Amino acid sequence: MVYSVRQKADIFIDGAILYKPDGIMAVEQSLEKGKLAQSKKTEVSLATVNSDRTRLERSEDLIQIILAAVVPGIIAMMLYSYFLFPDMLPFLFLLAVAVATLMLVPANMMTRLHYHTWSVDSLTPKLLTSIVGMIYILVVAVFAISMMSLYEGLNPEQPTTFATVGGLLLSLIVVMGYSSQTKVKYLAREKRYFPHPVHAIEERIAMRLEKEGRKHKRNNGPAGTEFELEGTDLRVHVRRLHRTHSEVLVCNINDANREHVDRIKSCIEGA
């Protein structure tokens, strides 16, 4: 018996379709291919974001190591060479200048990567840790040099020596105290740079919040604009980098407001 297309589509056995027309099968195959393509596109996008974030974290770690160990190590060697190897002092000075210049490479890479991905604002805690290491090495170096100066007929008990060591120890205490108080705050926020003016970013955020019916406060200040989302601890800071570029900081991120953070990010990115 010959069935029409409509009759063929209506044949069921125990609730299962026995026959589907070629047109319906083609549409379903096209939809499946579209879903697979979208899934692959999402996977590629996530892999790119993770790669950029990893490179950004490595650049931060490199700067942290250089500031915490390499730079104070070179300064300590310069102090020792003054007594032991005076001829090496110019070489060590040039080495210190070269290391400082090479730090521009990871710093420039960090700036470029901040335009491609969101990242936790972990640079400041890492720099504070580097400063702690730098001060510690310098205190040990100054103390050791003051002891070595006894064999050179110098008087290490000069007020300048005590002032230097005391100042470094005081700085160490201040930096460690500031780091312990602010570390959680920095790690609870994410930032990203955008090649858009501040007013464009602000309007995107305001329109999304109004569209979703989210009550918020908009505070304009000299350092930028801050959006406060009522009912949450979430804060969004929009700052000017230079004339046409902006920096966005999403602060006080936690598990309770993570969903709002993702929406704000997609809004700012123009998704």
Instruction: Indicate the burial class of 46 (C-beta count within 10 angstroms; 0-12, 13-18, 19 or more).
Output: exposed
Mean pLDDT of the chain: 78
Separation between Cα atoms, residue 47 and residue 76, nearest integer Å? 43
Q: End of a domain among 187, 207, 223? A: 187
Same domain, 81 and 141: yes
Same domain, 156 and 253: no
Same domain, 150 and 70: yes
Same domain, 174 and 242: no
Separation between Cα atoms, residue 150 and residue 156, nearest integer Å? 7
Same domain, 74 and 150: yes
pLDDT at 120 over 80: yes
Same domain, 29 and 62: no
User: Do residues 189 and 251 touch, judged by C-beta distance below 8 A?
Assistant: yes
The per-residue pLDDT for range 174-187, each reduced to its tens digit, is 999 998 899 889 99
Same domain, 29 and 60: no
Residue 164 vs residues 57, 147, 148: alpha-carbon distances, Å: 34, 14, 16
- Count structural domains, the chain: 3
- What range defines the domain where residue 194 resides? 190-268
For residue 3, what pLDDT is reported? 46
What pTM was estimated for this model as a whole? Answer: 0.71
For residue 193, what pLDDT is reported? 92
Residue 174 vs residues 72, 141, 142: alpha-carbon distances, Å: 19, 20, 19
The per-residue pLDDT for range 3-46, each reduced to its tens digit, is 444 444 444 444 444 444 555 555 455 555 555 555 444 444 44
Same domain, 207 and 106: no
Q: End of a domain among 153, 187, 221? A: 187
